[in-house]
Amino acid sequence: MTYHTTLDGAVAAAAAAAGPYGSWSAARRRDLLHACADALEAARAELVDLARTETALTAERLDGEVTRTTGQLRLYGDHVAAGRHLSGRTSPGAAPGGADVWTVDVPLGPVAVFAASNFPFAFGVPGGDTASALAAGCPVVVKGHPAQPRLSRRIAEVLAGAVAGADAPDGTFGFLDAESAGGDPARLGIELVRHPAIKAVGFTGSFGGGRALMDAAAARPEPIPVYAEMGSVNPVFVLPDAIADEAGREKWATALAAAVTGSGGQLCTKPGVVFVPETDDGEALADLTMFRIADTAPIPMLTEGMAAAHRTWSAKTAEAGAPARGESAVPDGTEPDARAGYPFAVQITAKDFEGDYREEHFGPAAVLVRADPADYPALADSLEGQLTATVIADDASAADRAAARALLPSLVAKAGRVVWNGVPTGVAVVEAMQHGGPWPATSAGWSTSVGTEAIRRFTRPVALQGVPADLVG
């Protein structure tokens, strides 16, 4: 099966498919999602090799991501087939005249999906937004990411074949790349969101990109929802007794450094800011974490532009006089590899935690902030909305538990997911997962882009009052 290669063609086909596909039973939608998973599985080796070439991510990481993506497709299909996505509210005899009131959940219609660069499978063309929209009964028009043009097109071909094999209406799955707008991906994205047949948007990317799509959606004659995940610094708060001995400091320095540098630090859940106690133990942890990060070999980043931005951030922190470690990984007198990310960390005090130190920086870098743990709640309150927040504590310490009890209300108010004694990287695709957060981490803090609750973004409830149940398909 081929897909339409022009914006108008793809969206018109999606609009024509919306009614027929939206009327499919949940069991048929499950079978389609399983077919998509099977098709990706069959093409796994080819796709991983192509992804490795375009992203410079490791084959092991990409292979695991394919597994996550196929599992996600199957999970969402099984979820809707079991009817677990439905609100199922009923109020028998509650309306005037004794009529029953009950709700049904109907698909919104064609959904525009923007593939992300850092997860070419799980958040790319076949990712969570595509899977959840199809599960909800909505056709999708996916805009491929320009950083991975060949991979995006090949995945689209694989999915289009699976959708056709499931006898879905033409237009159920559509794909566009930069060539669809004369090589201008930004213009293509805005035009896609402005198209009157598009009824919702799923986006993962930068704050600037997400805000531009939100503004375009809000300015339409018929405004539509944009579910944008736009980033986070994912603060980590280390409590004193967790690092009171050398073993604890070694454990957490190693874990934090791995989370900061894993996948080149190009994860939306990377711990970008770590608060450590302003004590000898805290400073020892900060120093060891800095060393562990800086001791990591240079990591190829997704694009030369991202690597350049990472180097600019490193230079800016050096100019500001913040104690930093890591740029020495570039040998003197040599030009850095244009795509390489050189891991580094910056160490500051709480009074200097302002401006750019509070912003997300893509790449293998972190800001370590020395602070009085008594000030942790106020520091948390001063942060913007986050995808995650993490507490590292000694479970057996009454002092750490008391400090955590005082801190947790602030973290719950600021983050979509709170992690205890772990790192925030690695998002489980499960029913209870919340991958979202208050503004500006996302555009809709109540929603999630991971887990079965993601399906609900692309449906709306309709109350039926007194309507005979046998008339509703």
pLDDT score at 335: 60
Count of alpha carbons within 13 angstroms of residue 332, beta-carbon side = 0
How many structural domains comprise the chain?
2
Asked whether residue 145 is domain-assigned, the answer is: yes
Q: What's the rounded Cα separation, in Å, for the pair 289 and 279?
A: 15
The mean per-residue pLDDT over the stretch 134-138 comes to 98
Which stretches within 137-206 are classed as H helix?
A: 149-165, 185-194
The chain-wide mean pLDDT, for the chain, equals 94
Residue type, 175: F
- Do 286 and 202 lie in one domain? The reply is no
pLDDT score at 12: 97
The domain that holds 402 is classified in CATH as 3.40.309.10
pLDDT score at 337: 80
- Do 448 and 405 lie in one domain? The reply is no
Asked whether residue 434 is domain-assigned, the answer is: no
- Do 223 and 241 lie in one domain? The reply is no
- Do 339 and 397 lie in one domain? The reply is yes
Asked whether residue 263 is domain-assigned, the answer is: yes
- Do 331 and 446 lie in one domain? The reply is no
Model pLDDT for residues 23-43, shown as the tens digit of each residue: 999 999 999 999 999 999 999
Model pLDDT for residues 403-427, shown as the tens digit of each residue: 999 999 999 999 999 999 999 998 9
Asked whether residue 450 is domain-assigned, the answer is: yes
Asked whether residue 167 is domain-assigned, the answer is: yes
Model pLDDT for residues 419-463, shown as the tens digit of each residue: 999 999 989 999 999 999 999 999 999 999 999 999 999 999 999
**Closest C-alpha among 409, 296, 281 to residue 345:** 296
Give the tokens for residue 406: 């005082």
- Do 131 and 25 lie in one domain? The reply is yes
Sign of the dihedral defined by the CA atoms of residues 143, 149, 151, 156, in that order: positive
Asked whether residue 177 is domain-assigned, the answer is: yes
First to last CA, the chain: 29
- Do 222 and 248 lie in one domain? The reply is no
Model pLDDT for residues 289-345, shown as the tens digit of each residue: 999 999 999 999 999 999 999 999 998 988 887 777 765 445 555 566 889 999 999
Give the tokens for residue 53: 């070439």
pLDDT score at 300: 93
At residue 375 the predicted structure's pLDDT band, cuts being 50, 70 and 90, is: very high
What positions carry a catalytic annotation? 229, 268
- Do 190 and 213 lie in one domain? The reply is yes
pLDDT score at 469: 85
pLDDT score at 328: 43
Asked whether residue 21 is domain-assigned, the answer is: yes
- Do 57 and 185 lie in one domain? The reply is yes
Residue 461 φ then ψ, to 5°: -85, 145
Asked whether residue 411 is domain-assigned, the answer is: yes
Q: Where are the beta strands (DSSP E) in 29-144?
A: 90-91, 101-107, 111-114, 140-143
Give the tokens for residue 85: 């996505």
pLDDT score at 87: 86
- Do 164 and 245 lie in one domain? The reply is no
- Do 55 and 159 lie in one domain? The reply is yes
Check whether 182 has a pLDDT greater than 60.
yes
Q: What's the rounded Cα separation, in Å, for the pair 283 and 275?
A: 10
- Do 463 and 411 lie in one domain? The reply is no
Query: Domain containing 377: what range?
Result: 236-420
Continuous segment of H or E residues that includes residue 291: helix 280-294
